[in-house]
Amino acid sequence: MKRWIAIIAAGVALATAAQVDAQPASKIAFESDRDGNTEIYAMAADGSNPVNLTNHPARDGFAAWSPDGTKIAFETDRDGNQEIYVMAADGSNPLRLTSDPANDRFPDWSPDGTKIAFETERDGFPEVYVMAADGSDPVNLTNHPARDGLPSWSPDGARIAFISFRDGDWEVYTINVDGTDPVNLTANPATDTGPAWSPLLVTQTPPPMTAFPLFDDVEETASTTATWTPDADTWEVTTAAAHSGNRVWSKPPVGDVEERFLTLSAPLDLSSASNPTLSF
């Protein structure tokens, strides 16, 4: 019986989304009162060259980089109460996104940069809202009489972590981005707050491939599809041969040279892995 050898790539490793999809982090935004009032600064990742971005007599703080690194959302009381603004990464073009007599605070971008989650007291008590990145279409997600706030968007964009006092103490919850399915993650009588997601890992997606017969002289080939095995170290490859039907092969042990034929028929693409974790 003819044996088909899957085309595979060697030495593929996991990497963070930042390593693959963007240049290495070069700046850190932070809040400082070194000029006599609270301002937002940016500095190099090694701490050098701090620059005052907001440079305003009001209090500016809680900086949040946009996913593409071109903008920074922040909270400010320059209008007499806490509102959410956005500015260019160099501090230019500050733009007011919220306009409500109540306090709007703690902006957090969606991973695709199209929306911003924030905490607001416009309903008489803190709630988590989501609005478009231009400030339009604010929607109350939590809609609960208890205090909810400090939103943190999951890296896959599917859920938002937040803190809530709805159980009589501060707990960490997650909720769908449409406001459904709130889940208490911590459920502990102690105070749990400050949720922060781990980043998604990115792996290389197996490309369209070809399988070659290695142990006879037949010249025909068969198209294949491939998926990662659970350990993300090998590919499972399905070969489609008209005479033998579909067959599934996986990358053999490294020492088994007979079963390896290392070549690529297409460049690699990238896709995000799932299951980020949450710290608090």
- Among 167, 195, 223, the domain-final residue is 195
Return the higher-pLDDT residue of 248 and 122. Answer: 122
Q: What is the mean pLDDT of residues 177-203?
A: 90
- Assess whether 57 and 166 both reside in one domain: yes
Q: Which CATH number do you get for residue 55?
A: 2.120.10.30
Would you say residue 13 has pLDDT above 80? no
Q: Is the domain of 188 the same as that of 76? A: yes
Q: Kindly write down the DSSP assignment for every residue of 54-105, as one continuous string.
A: S--SS-EEEEEE-TTSSEEEEEE-TTSS-EEEEEETTS-S-EE----SS-EE
Beta pairing partners, 63: none
Looking at the fold, whether 53 and 88 belong to one and the same domain comes out as yes
Q: Does residue 49 sit in the same domain as residue 127?
A: yes
Verify that 83 and 159 share a domain, yes or no.
yes
Do 34 and 73 share a structural domain? Answer: yes
Q: Give tens-digit pLDDT for 51-72.
A: 999 999 999 999 999 999 999 9
Overall average pLDDT of the 134-161 stretch: 96
Number of domains composing the chain: 2
**Is residue 219 located within the same domain as residue 150?**
no
Q: Which domain holds residue 174?
A: 24-195
Is the pLDDT at 276 greater than 90? The verdict is no
The pLDDT, as a whole number, for residue 240 is 41
> Is residue 52 located within the same domain as residue 158?
yes
Instruction: Return the closest-CA partner of residue 75 out of 96, 55, 89.
Output: 96
For residues 32 and 147, state if they share a domain. yes
Are residues 229 and 146 located together in one domain of the fold?
Answer: no
143 with 208, same domain: the answer is no
Residues 11 and 34 occupy one common structural domain: no
